[in-house]
Amino acid sequence: MSDKKPKSTGKSTTKNTNKKTASGKVIKPLRRTNTVKSGSKTSNTTSSKTGTNNRAGKLFGRLKNNDNQGAYTSVKNRKKVIFSKASGASSRGGFENDKNRFRTIWAIALVILGLLIARAYYLQVANAQFYQDKGNELITSVRTQKSYRGMITDRNDLPLAVSAPLATVSFSPHDYAREYYELNRVKIANPDSPQLQARMQKRLDNMDLTRLAAAANIPVAELEKAAAIDESIDVTDEEAVKAALPSGAGSHYLPLLNKVTPEIAQSVSSLDFPGVYEKNFFQRYYPQPQPNSQLLGFMGQNASDPEGGYEGRAGIERQYEKTLAGDDGKVLVLKDAKQNSLREIKQVEPEIAGQDVALTIDSRLQYLLYKELEKAGRLQQARWSTGMVVDVQTGEVLALSTWPSFNSNNLNEMTGENQRNRALLDVFEPGSVMKPFTVAAALDSGKYTANSLIDTNPGSIRVRGYTIRDHNNLGRINMATLLQKSSNVASTKIALSLPPDAITNMQKQFGFGAKTPLKFPGEGAGLVTTPKEKETARRATVSYGYGLQVTLAQVAQAYAALASGGVMHPLTLTKTDKALPSKRIMEHEQAMSIVKMLEAVTEPGGTAKAAAIDGYRVAGKTGTSRRINPDGGYYTDQYRNVFAGMAPASNPKLVGVVLIEDPRSQIYAGLTTAPVFHNVMKEALRLYNVPLDKPLKTE
């Protein structure tokens, strides 16, 4: 029994061997090797001798097959198979590959993180203000808060220009209809909320156009027609509502109240009515428009202002624009989706009210001057007339006006002609009013005295082919008679006896040929050209007021310098605590001697007897010159009349100058401008309580 081996030994071994799996990772199951079929017979001897070898062979065979399949193959010995499906175990997830993949993934992650940080820095730090401003634009806006424009007053603090607060109330039918349809839509969309429906209905009741029409005093039918509410449309249909909204002209702006006081506007704006808007602004108002229109100027719309603000366009309004206007404030306001302002958030920039400008003008004298200029202009059927009154001791302009004028409160009356301040802007050939400065040059030269005699026989003189004449033969005359009779011949002889620049230098010394210190917008400078030695005709004409250009303001300034004893006090239009520096341009005795000579002009035998004032000594000079013809030469039937005078002559306080352009009824200044001077100066002396310096006439 011991020699026999159990039958089960061989079978058991074979069975166990076939079921055993290889260690390690296997991609595909190992295929079985060819074995003896279940019914075959084997000898015990063969099994005994070769049992171990068979098991080794079987295992080797399996390993070989697996090697062909890719299992148990090292990276070094593994065959590279391209485009073939891998089978068996793989070492691609080894440490080296995992380490590279790990580094790559972290590098990518760090780059993405860096980009995110950079983007966040750009948005929240580097460009934070830009995006913050963009966000604020959606819910806020900066509203300009108009500053109060300063007043313009006269020397007695009476207002000449003020800013009155006004308001304009308008109605937007488009916004009203949109709100109406929206409230109805909310009612229909919330049938299960009776409280919400009640609130919507209450708001709809408050939108009754009858209330608005009664407050604005306009027909309710006009509002209903503009709103065009369609009760039949489906308010839940957005496209249908959009089509029903008012469009076209007047759909967004229908004026209810235009330029009314804030109190009147409050009666409508207090209704808190949908689609009603109020705009507040300041309206410039001129209490005394015609006499002051060219002096004060006017307001015009500023094209560079997005809100359509106004600024000074002429005169004092323009000259002192920065002082009067002040600085507008800015307020940050919260707005809703319809761009309506809800409330003010904060003051961005403070409002700085404009400062008042006090003029040296006396509104009483200004009105009187204008009425006299208008009266004379209409009587003489003149093109225009203008005049000035100046304080001799200070250079302050007390009155400055021009006719024809316009109503500054209604710019529709304004034209290119009536808006000009003729006394400051227009230049002209002055004529004989320049002869006192010719006498001044003669006295300053030392060749002449007040009593020097000049032979004017035979009443004319020939210069370079031109004949210069007087009205008649005056014979031998002194300086006083030269001025009294306005001798062209005597003036010519003085000019030709002096150096070529003597007359023009004296004229420049008195301020001719340069703008006055008034610095008025558009002011003319005039023109004084020194003639050459051989230009004898020009040397002659300059001496009696031809061949040069001046402004009436320059004439007033020069006569005020004579009246003050040869001291030039710069003209001024505004009151100031700091007086402008004065300068002496002529000896006191010489200046006062010329003033005394000018008294003869207003006395019997002079050219301006109509300028005389009872109780006062008056000195002055007339000037009648021909108007220049644009086609060349001078008109033979058109003249310009000027009178410049001062009173009282013993101690001059006031200087007045008057100009009438192209008078038709009379052509001499003694008959046209001298009466205007008389009427204005008489009242001015009374207003300022100037003492009499001459006995009153008695009947």
Nearest-5° Cα angle at 540, 539 to 544: 115
Question: If pLDDT is split at 50, 70 and 90, which confidence band does 46 have?
Answer: very low
Half-sphere exposure of 243 (CA within 13 A, CB side): 9
Specify the DSSP element, H or E, that contains 143: strand 140-145
Report pLDDT for 102: 86
Name the 3-class secondary structure at 644: strand
> What distance in Å separates the CA atoms of residue 353 and residue 13, rounded to the nearest whole number?
117
432 classed as catalytic? yes
Residue 453, pLDDT > 50, answer yes
Which two tokens mark 259? 């330029």
Contact (Cβ atoms closer than 8 angstroms) between residue 364 and residue 655: no
Place of tokens 């300028």: 611
Residue 48, pLDDT > 60, answer no
Question: If pLDDT is split at 50, 70 and 90, which confidence band does 282 have?
Answer: confident
Nearest-10 crossing angle of helices 552-563, 435-445: 40
- The residue type found at 516 is T
Report pLDDT for 60: 52
Residue 1, pLDDT > 60, answer no
Dump pLDDT digits (tens) for 111-128: 999 999 988 888 888 888
Report pLDDT for 130: 81
Active-site hit among 363, 432, 491, 625: 432
Residue 6, pLDDT > 60, answer no
Residue 567, pLDDT > 80, answer yes
Contact (Cβ atoms closer than 8 angstroms) between residue 460 and residue 497: no
> Which of 610 and 76 is assigned the larger pLDDT?
610
Handedness of CA 507, 512, 516, 517 (dihedral sign): negative
- This prediction has a pTM of 0.74
For 150-176, what is the mean pLDDT? 93
Residue 195, pLDDT > 60, answer yes
> What distance in Å separates the CA atoms of residue 120 and residue 125, rounded to the nearest whole number?
8
Burial of 610 (0-12, 13-18, 19+ CB in 10 A): buried
Lowest mean pLDDT among 5-19, 244-258, 487-501, 526-540: 5-19
Question: If pLDDT is split at 50, 70 and 90, which confidence band does 579 have?
Answer: confident
For 141-155, what is the mean pLDDT? 86
Could you tell me which residues are beta bridge partners of residue 171? 254, 276
Question: If pLDDT is split at 50, 70 and 90, which confidence band does 3 have?
Answer: very low
Which among 67-76, 78-87, 375-384 has the top mean pLDDT?
Answer: 375-384
Nearest-5° Cα angle at 56, 53 to 62: 140
Residue 286, pLDDT > 80, answer yes
Dump pLDDT digits (tens) for 303-349: 776 566 788 999 999 999 999 998 888 888 777 665 666 667 777 88
CA dihedral 539, 544, 547, 551 (to 10 degrees): 140
